[in-house]
Amino acid sequence: MVARNGVVATSQWLAADAGLQMLKDGGTAADAAVAAAAMLAVVEPDSHGLGGDTFVLYYSREDRQLYGLNASGWAPRAWTPDYFAELGYDDETGMPNEGVNATTVPGAVDGWAKLLERFGNVGFQETFDPAVRVAEEGFGITERIHADWIDAADTVRGDDYAESTYLVDGEAPDLYSIFRIPDMANALRVLQEQGRDAFYEGDIADAIIRTVRRNGGVMTHADLSSFEAEWVDPISTSYRGYDVHQIPPNTQGFAALEMLNILEACPSELGLDLAELGPRSPQFWHLLLEAKKLAYNDLYAYNADPRFETVPLDRLLSKEYGAELCREIDPDRATEPRVHAEVDSGTIYLTAADRWGNMASFISSVYSAFGSGVAVPNYGFTLQNRGGLFSLERDHPNVVAPRKRPFQTIIPAFVMKDDEPVLSFGNMGGSMQPQGQVQELVNIIDLGMNVQAAGDAARFRHDQTSNIAEIESNLYELVGAELEDTGHDLKRTDGTPMGGYQAIMFVPDPNAPDDDGPDSPVAGVYRAGSDHRKDGGAVGW
């Protein structure tokens, strides 16, 4: 779709509409993003909510600058390898992935507050109103969300309050039925009245700590009250003349940048160019798969909280290193990953742009479906299970430690050219995110696809542990047999494992008058796309 004054793209129509209403009422891209996120907490509670984490890349037209926000929570003060050893966990079993001993401090609410404080025109009162209404009055269960809810139902069956909140007679709500979450409306109202402090120091904080303690956890009020989201400098690499930006570690964003560096080196190092090969060539997909494996070797070896460990980004993101890795690719044979690891998914991504040229690339998650499976009574949200992504190997950079942030899968992305915004986009879905973003960027930059076609095109999802690539059936029919002949282990699939892509592209008007300042309308149009694999869309005005 094409819009002049503003646009929102996300995975559920009510959320897109909530964001659009903010824009029509004079809100910024930040206001629209938070309104859409609050609505998604209601309509996609298995993927995202108040108990999760958030990352944002925000382009401010007034500053002509891209800002990064890391709103991912840290481990409780009591979390150490010895603590988990006493619970029966070690480097063989890994961290728990369910229950409150997988719950780090939820960072999303503080992140939303900081985004609005810096870039918004309004606050929680206005941005939460649409979500409060829908949580109380109910919403219709759509197709993809219904299927995900069925798959996730077991997670909440072990918690009486979570089961009563999210299931109907012990089962996922019926397709097209009306579902209400009045307790979540209550939580949103408390935040409207008392602000973010209610979550980290007030009544909601008390309820979180009671819930954690009742379920055998050790999070304290101090763990919550001392937490603050952090503004960070984005990291980037160039690809075919475009600058691609990510949030730095503790996210996995650098894996996408490393993949791009490898692929950009391949024409000179291997004599293979993606644009010349084209997507009908098995070697096109072979290069993408092999570049993914190499980048993810480094991702799982090095990613960690940079406040605790040094992640060698200068080397990992250098063009020289990209060329070195490209030379490791055998053009004719598939290889086995050196580092075996895989991560779960349960995420929402949205992007918003306003009439003044501000753009938000926004992602949020409770990690696994319904997170830890434990919900906070009277407030209707589940606690995330991001702590499950820590390592218990004591010499690993990502080893669990007090107040440390775990490996985070969720990554918003942003593309610029000549210091001007081009594309705000993302692809939800755990380990799918870096490899999905790269496939979509290759579609746009190398193959010339428009912003919608780039997400519609078939893609793969490679598992670093099994070394199996799930590949959409129409793509398998095209190149599957040839890829298997080179040693790739493929599994035909539908679009379900491929995450969900959303994107907004800004196209400047070459005939527009000179910019009159920060209050003048943006001189151009927005083109937006939304993944057909999800239940949402792109809406604008």
Model pLDDT for residues 435-475, shown as the tens digit of each residue: 999 999 999 999 999 999 999 999 999 999 999 999 999 99
How many C-beta atoms surround the C-beta of residue 436 within 10 A?
25
Model pLDDT for residues 123-179, shown as the tens digit of each residue: 999 999 999 999 999 999 999 999 999 999 999 999 999 999 999 999 999 999 999
Query: Which residues, 6+ apart, have CB-to-CB distance to 330 below 8 Å?
Result: 290
Tell me the percentage of the chain whose pLDDT exceeds 90: 96
Average pLDDT over residues 327-334: 97
Counts for the chain of helices (H) and strands (E), in that order: 20, 21
Average pLDDT over residues 518-540: 91
User: Domain 1-97+229-367+389-541 class?
Assistant: alpha beta
Question: Is the pLDDT score of 321 beyond 70?
Answer: yes
d(CA 40, CA 412): 16
**What single-letter DSSP state applies at residue 400?**
-
Question: Is the pLDDT score of 381 beyond 80?
Answer: yes
Give the full edge-to-edge strand order of the sheet including 65-71.
Answer: 230-232, 65-71, 53-60, 359-365, 347-353, 7-10, 537-540
285's tokens = 């997909």
Categorize the per-residue pLDDT at 56 as very low, low, confident or very high, splitting at 50, 70 and 90: very high
Place of tokens 């995975």: 11
User: Which whole-number Å values give the CA distances from 191 to 36, 48, 151, 284, 494, in the listed order?
Assistant: 16, 17, 31, 49, 40
Categorize the per-residue pLDDT at 517 as very low, low, confident or very high, splitting at 50, 70 and 90: low
Average pLDDT over residues 84-93: 96
Q: Could you tell me if 365 and 70 are in contact, meaning their C-beta atoms sit under 8 angstroms apart? A: no
Q: Could you tell me if 33 and 352 are in contact, meaning their C-beta atoms sit under 8 angstroms apart? A: yes
Categorize the per-residue pLDDT at 516 as very low, low, confident or very high, splitting at 50, 70 and 90: low
**How is 519-536 classified by DSSP, letter by letter?**
TSPPSEEEEEEE-TTSB-
How many C-beta atoms surround the C-beta of residue 9 within 10 A?
34
Extents of the domains making up the chain: 1-97+229-367+389-541
Categorize the per-residue pLDDT at 366 as very low, low, confident or very high, splitting at 50, 70 and 90: very high
Tell me, what's the pLDDT at 33?
Answer: 98
Model pLDDT for residues 465-507, shown as the tens digit of each residue: 999 999 999 999 999 999 999 999 999 999 999 999 999 999 9
CA 194 to chain centre: 28
Q: Could you tell me if 112 and 34 are in contact, meaning their C-beta atoms sit under 8 angstroms apart? A: yes
d(CA 283, CA 270): 12
Question: Is the pLDDT score of 399 beyond 80?
Answer: yes
Question: Is the pLDDT score of 519 beyond 80?
Answer: no
Query: Which residues, 6+ apart, have CB-to-CB distance to 345 below 8 Å?
Result: 367, 368, 409, 428, 429, 430, 431, 432, 499
Torsion on CA atoms 442, 447, 452, 456, rounded to nearest 10? -80
- Helix, strand or coil, per DSSP, at residue 410: coil
Question: Is the pLDDT score of 95 beyond 90?
Answer: yes
Tell me, what's the pLDDT at 342?
Answer: 75
